[in-house]
Structure 1
Amino acid sequence: MEQKSFRTFLLVLVLVVIAYPEASSGDEFVSVNGVHLMLNGSPFYANGFNAYWMMVIAADVSQRPKVTAAFQDASARGLTIARTWAFSDGGDWMPLQISPGVYNEQVFQGLDFVVSEAKNHGIKLVLSLVNNWVEFGGKKQYVAWGKAQGQTVSADDDFFTNEVIKGFYKNHVKTVLTRRNTITGIAYMDDPTIMAWELINEMRCVSDKSGKTVQAWVSEMAPYVKSIDRKHLLEVGLEGYYGASRSQQYPQYFQVGTDFIENNQVPGIDFATVHTYTEQMFQNMPEADQLSFLNRWVQDHIHDAENTLHKPVLFAEFGKTLKGYTIEQRDRTFNAMYSGVYSSASRGGAAAAALFWQVLSEGTESSFQDGYGIVLSRPSSTADIIAQQSSRMNGIRSMLARRGRL
């Protein structure tokens, strides 16, 4: 009887391996091959979301079910990539890094939980390492720390040039990458749940619009990250603004000190990113014109990723606020973004995924609803559009995996 049951078990296992090769091949690292993200030997096309709040919520053990619920809701809608913060610098509310090199273990264990729960729900993570903006500390906090230690600094953009401050940042990078998860026992740098590191969220350096400061900083930090961790992918955290390389095509975006082409050509940068909020970029532009711009913006970045960078591109943030706009307008924005990404993916192109801003779970809205938040457990037309895109992108991935086995 026991022998027969064991044979039955083996037969079922073989059938599972045949039907679901991804489940049998282990949780591998996401890699890059040309313009493709790769997972388990096949191009990794996906759908994703942002949820920046997860670490600070998970720092309170009693609140962790809200993080679990967000991952459950996302997984139920077919989402397989999540982007969130691996920083919270200074300040009075839930800092991860209290001061340079001094960490709040309770908050770090919150991040441990986020990584663990992502693994449990089959979701890959993009973890950002510092903010360009003042929220959660950012450049401004690092500069304040430098000034407190006697550095002659005054502007936020001194973050990119002051050697002591750059040392603070490098120490944070090393601390996060070498962290051993208290739940899984796996060092972050060895955990395939993490898909990629992001140098900085929405980097800008308006004090040097030539782009030289940003280029020098990326050229220094990319090899530093790779010197610690060569298993994971790395991206800059760019919004997609062009500098001199496209100044004629997009002259209104020649003002933030970054360049989508040059910054993403730095050795060690594995894929490009774009963030797009047309209602913020063009506050007085009619919706039809915003959608027209969005379509062109998406196609131009895909074209440049394929033909100039020869790397994948992730549309790492997009959305439409309901503060002043309707659900129908939000849905049209989602459809436009998803259409461009799916069109590229269906022909084997560079667009790997689009990550909307942002997922919330029940009970988080009072603290984190910014007009963009979507609670996926609640029925809505937008949630249906998200699930449909997940199905289409996961379908491409499955089809390519099957072809690879023929």
Structure 2
Amino acid sequence: MGAAVGAGSALLLPSGSARAAGASHRPRGDYVTVRKGEFVHAGSRFRFGGTNCYYLHQRSHYMIDSALDDAAAMGLSVVRAWAFADGAEKADRPLQPQPYHYDEDAFDALDYAVHKAAELGIKLVLPLVNNWPDYGGMQQYVKWFLGLDDDSYGAETPHHDRFYTDKAIRACYKAFAAHVIGRRNRYTGLRYHEDPTVMAFELANEPRCRSDRSGNTLVRWAAEMSAHVKRLAPRQLVAVGDEGAYGEAGHADYPYSDHDGVDWRRLSALRTVDYATFHLYPQGWGETSSAKPGTDVGGWGEQWILRHLRDARRLGKPAVLEEFGVRIDAGQDVPDTATRDDIYRRWTRIVERESGAGSQFWLLTSRVDDGSFYPDYDGFRITWNNDDANTTRSTARVLSEHAAAMGR
């Protein structure tokens, strides 16, 4: 942290060198499609190791270059980044400061990120709203249209789920989706739906609906909105962006239960949803030895991945482990970097062995405008070419090797 840009930083390489580092594992221009339960690109099966870097839509060109050059140097093929920023309270430069009002100047960063990704041969996944109040999210829509607000977080609020059912909110979300998908990028000259750099649009980041544990409300909303997005962007893929909860009533294990009103199999099976997503955070979900004696974080995660990949095959859909993360907690579960590296290696090898369509770790970050590294806000940060001894260099290598294996 805080080290100046120096020798060894990917930022000092010419952009052609960054491309060459991972070019053999990255698609170059065609749309990604789905055929017989697999991704296809340029006529061949497409599997990828990728990442998340949510902040590209709100940062300087320097920071966008830093993150995407590092992704390219690691050989990562797909990056997931936010395409929303709702209201001035939760976003530095809101894309949608008020309902139906869009700040074209604020869209500069997102436009540039798409342009930069295209130069590097990286595909993007763009979610259109957040379940959580970061960058506004569903809670901002509820506040705008219903005047309801709450200090608690995201899906914990009593009013959150009105986002899915209120007619005016649904119309505003549809309009924002149409604006993003149909806007002309100032750097590429292409509308977003014309640009194969955008692999997929996602309906939301981690949608939850705790007021209806049956899952019906969320399934109805996803059916309506996925059809809307598919009409707007027929050549690109559509995903829900959910965490993969199974929605099983009475199940004692939280991620398999109906607690959040998410039924992953029904969401993934929707006709206008092209591929299934699932996330993996055992520590945040209470799947640890301290919470449940005898539980192994890595082993629990292996079973979670296996079940989703096998169930996705039954559905005939590609499945992507699109977020996963483990914190080093200095306790018995994950005491050090070596233990985390081993867990990531075990998880990604299952994706490789079980014909998973892709994986995207949380979270690749890089340098900020003063040359230091983006802060580790959540304990999941991975950096590339960081000269500080207390960094995640070994973890980044594990994930880069996985991306190479997926590209073969």
Same fold by TM-score, threshold 0.5 exceeded?
A: yes
Q: Deviations over 1:257-303 (max 9, x none)?
A: 01111111111100000010111112642696111111110000011
> Could you say what secondary structure the match of 2:354 adopts?
helix
Measure the CA separation in 2 of the matches of 1:26 and 1:47. 16
For residues 5-404 of structure 1, the aligned pairs below 5 Å read 27-57=29-59, 63-92=60-89, 93-148=92-147, 155-244=159-248, 247=251, 253-282=257-286, 284-285=288-289, 289-307=296-314, 309-322=315-328, 324=330, 325=334, 326-345=336-355, 351-363=356-368, 365-366=373-374, 369-378=377-386, 380-395=393-408
Worse-matched range after superposition: 283-292 or 161-170: 283-292
Partner letter of residue 98 of structure 2? S
Deviation at 1:161, TM superposition (A): 0.2
Query: Counterparts of 1:197 and 1:227 in 2: how far apart (Å)?
Result: 12
Q: 1:26 to 1:294 in 2, by over 3 A?
A: closer
Q: Give 3-state SS (helix, strand or coil) of 1:231's partner.
A: coil
Structure showing greater radius of gyration is 1
- Whole-angstrom distance in 2 between the partners of 1:37 and 1:240: 19
Deviation for aligned residue 1:370: 2.3
3-state SS in 2 of match to 1:167: helix
Query: How far apart are residue 359 of structure 1 and its match?
Result: 0.9
TM-score (norm 1): 0.84
Greater fraction of residues in helix: 1
1:307-366 CA distances to partner (integer Å, 9 max, x unpaired)?
1x1100010000112455521232122112211101123xxxxx1111011111122745
| RMSD (CA atoms) | 2.4
Q: Is the 8 A contact 1:53 1:368 kept in 2?
A: no
Aligned length: 361
Q: CA deviation at 1:72?
A: 1.1
TM-score between the two structures when normalised by the length of structure 2: 0.83
Report the Cα distance in structure 2 between the residues aligned to 1:51 and 1:294, rounded to whole angstroms: 22
Q: Match of 2:105, SS?
A: helix
Q: Distance in 2 between matches of 1:192 and 1:369?
A: 32
CA distance in 1, matches of 2:270, 2:62: 40
Q: Supply the distance in 1 between the matched residues of 2:162 and 2:307 (Cα, whole angstroms).
A: 32
The amino acid of 2:79's aligned partner reads A
1:104 is displaced (CA, Å) by 1.7
Contact 2:248 2:257 in 1 (8 A): no
Instruction: State the alpha-carbon separation in 1 of the partners of residues 328 and 347 from structure 2.
Output: 17
Contact 1:320–1:330, Cα closer than 8 Å, also in 2: yes
Shift of 1:41: 0.6
Q: Which moved more, 1:47-56 or 1:105-114?
A: 105-114
Q: For the residues of structure 1 that align with 2:354 and 2:142, how far apart are their CA atoms?
A: 41
Structure 1: distance between partners of 2:276 and 2:251: 19
CA distance in 2, matches of 1:108, 1:294: 37
Question: Does structure 2 conserve the Cα–Cα contact (< 8 Å) formed by 1:319 and 1:330?
Answer: no
Distance in 2 (CA, whole Å) between partners of 1:155 and 1:250 is 22
CA displacement at 1:368 relative to structure 2: 5.8
Post-superposition Cα deviations, 1:179-200, rounded to whole Å, max 9, x if no partner, equal: 1000010000010000000001
Residue 135 of structure 1 and its aligned partner are, at CA, apart by: 0.8
What code does the residue aligned with 1:101 have? Y
Question: Structure 1 unaligned runs (5+)?
Answer: 1-19, 58-62, 346-350, 396-406
Q: Which residue of 2 aligns with 1:401?
A: none
Equivalent-residue separation in structure 1 for 2:253 and 2:308 (angstroms):
12
Contact 1:177–1:188 (8 Å) recurs in 2? yes
- Cα 1:246–1:192, aligned 2, differ >3 Å: closer, same or farther? farther
1:293–1:116 distance in 2 versus 1, CA, 3 Å: same
1:368–1:90 Cα change, 3 Å? farther
Contact 1:317 1:356 in 2 (8 A): yes
Percent identical among aligned pairs is 34
Partner of 1:8: none
Structure 2 runs not aligned, ≥5 long? 1-22, 149-156, 388-392
Do the aligned residues in 1 keep the contact of 2:24 with 2:407 (CA within 8 Å)?
no
